[in-house]
């Protein structure tokens, strides 16, 4: 793993006091966060971040906050002194320096806390012009009604996430095709409307198998107006992957799937200029760069291994 240790060590230097039965967790002079690491080393707008916190004493809970987003860490399967979180930088966050806060609640109730400055560089995003059928720029009244309903469905799908990681190990490519540098691109549709591209496109022939990038639970299977045939999968602790424009979907909402499970076939449904798979990565309501997520070296978690295939009702 390419983890670069970053300084840290905010020992809470309160004077020692006689131990009294505490009704609230109190800082201890010994309660320190030993180290905070992350990858990738260089963070940009839209970067996913894999954080590791090392503690001197075992903890029962570790939380964080970064650019106004709460972070929930999970314990390493082997060691309650090492905690991890998959988090990220909003594609639309302003570049600059931000404080990364981490708080550990140690066994016995003592708190350990650290804050450090993290620099977010501007993303290198492209601009482009694309042409799509006019109704995708100027939808009819009926289509606007569907768009509004789609928004509610998506909001509902993202509203809950498993309280522990469902993923384990690296995220893998969903199709056997190279990605395009399309994340964060500002697109002008039909010379009329600007659209921010929140995922990565993989150009594929129609009917290319689409595979699940990491283990998780299917939370939405729908034909949406802009997105076409869509699958959204929860990976736990606020991380979702999103698969758009498919021609066929072979899974159902509620399916618990293993990494590499076949979700269906790629296609050209919804607002597209040609067949491709669009992969989106969402964390805590913001969009992250799928290509950077695929490049992270991630550890095994103690996520229960689901069956590799969809549940029996989904099988042919």
When CB distances to Zn ion are compared, the closest residue is 278
Cα distances from 12 to residues 29, 65, 108, 166, in angstroms, run 6, 19, 16, 34
Residue closer to Zn ion, measured from CB, 74 or 240: 240
Separation CA 220–CA 156 (nearest Å): 9
**For the window 140-179, what string marks contact with Zn ion as x by the rule CB under 5 A?**
----------------------------------------
Q: Return the residues of window 23-62 that contact Zn ion according to CB under 5 A.
A: none
Number of C-alpha atoms within 13 angstroms, CB side, residue 24? 2
Q: Specify the residue, 115 or 125, whose C-beta has the smaller distance to Zn ion.
A: 125
Q: What share of the chain is helix, strand, coil (3-state, %, to 5)?
A: 10, 40, 50
CA 163 to chain CA mean position, Å? 14
Stretch that binds Zn ion, among 52-60, 197-205, 251-259, 261-269 (CB under 5 A): 197-205
Nearer to Zn ion, 8 or 91 (CB): 91
CB of 200 to Zn ion, least distance (A): 7
Q: Determine, following the binding rule CB under 5 A, whether residue 201 of this chain makes contact with Zn ion.
A: yes
Q: Is 282 in the site for Zn ion (CB under 5 A)?
A: no
- Tokens representing residue 82 in the block: 């090492």
Any residues with CB less than 8 A from the CB of 138 and at least 6 apart, and which? none
Contact predicate 55/81, CB 8 Å: yes
Residue among 42, 10, 55 at smallest CA distance from 118: 42
Give yes or no for residue 278 binding Zn ion (CB under 5 A): yes
Nearer to Zn ion, 245 or 256 (CB): 245
Other C-beta atoms within 10 Å of 92: how many?
Answer: 13
Given the rule CB under 5 A, which of 43-51, 70-78, 205-213, 275-283 is the region that contacts Zn ion?
A: 275-283
Query: Residue 84 or residue 278: which is nearer to Zn ion going by CB?
Result: 278
Complex with Zn ion: residue 201 or 250, whichever CB lies closer: 201
Contact set with Zn ion (CB under 5 A): 201, 278
């Amino acid at each position: 793993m390419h983890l670069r240790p970053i300084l840290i060590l905010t020992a809470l230097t309160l004077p020692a006091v006689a131990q009294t039965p505490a009704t609230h967790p109190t800082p201890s002079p010994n309660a320190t966060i030993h180290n905070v690491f992350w990858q990738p080393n260089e963070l940009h707008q839209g970067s996913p971040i894999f954080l590791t916190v090392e503690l001197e004493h075992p903890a029962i809970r570790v939380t964080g906050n970064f650019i106004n987003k709460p972070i929930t860490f999970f314990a390493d399967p082997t060691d309650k002194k090492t905690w991890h979180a998959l988090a990220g930088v909003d594609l639309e966050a302003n570049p600059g320096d931000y404080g990364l806060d981490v708080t550990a609640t140690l066994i016995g109730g003592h708190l350990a806390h650290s804050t450090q400055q993290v620099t977010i560089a501007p993303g290198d995003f492209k601009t482009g012009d694309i042409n799509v059928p006019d109704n995708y720029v100027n939808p009819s009244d009926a289509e606007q009604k569907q768009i509004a309903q789609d928004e509610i469905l998506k909001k509902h799908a993202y509203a809950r996430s498993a309280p522990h990681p469902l993923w384990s190990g690296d995220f893998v490519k969903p199709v056997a095709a190279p990605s395009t540098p399309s994340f964060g691109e500002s697109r002008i549709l039909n010379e009329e409307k600007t659209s921010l591209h929140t995922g990565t496109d993989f150009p594929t022939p129609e009917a290319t198998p689409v595979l699940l990038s990491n283990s998780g639970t299917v939370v939405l299977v729908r034909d949406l107006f802009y997105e076409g045939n869509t699958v959204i999968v929860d990976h736990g602790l606020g991380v979702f992957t999103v698969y758009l424009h498919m021609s066929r979907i072979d899974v159902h909402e509620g399916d618990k799937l293993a990494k590499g499970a076949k979700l269906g076939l790629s296609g050209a449904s919804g607002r597209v200029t040609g067949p491709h798979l669009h992969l989106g990565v969402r964390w805590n309501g913001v969009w992250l760069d799928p290509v950077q997520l695929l490049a992270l070296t991630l550890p095994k978690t103690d996520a229960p291994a689901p069956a590799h295939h969809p549940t029996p009702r989904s099988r042919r």
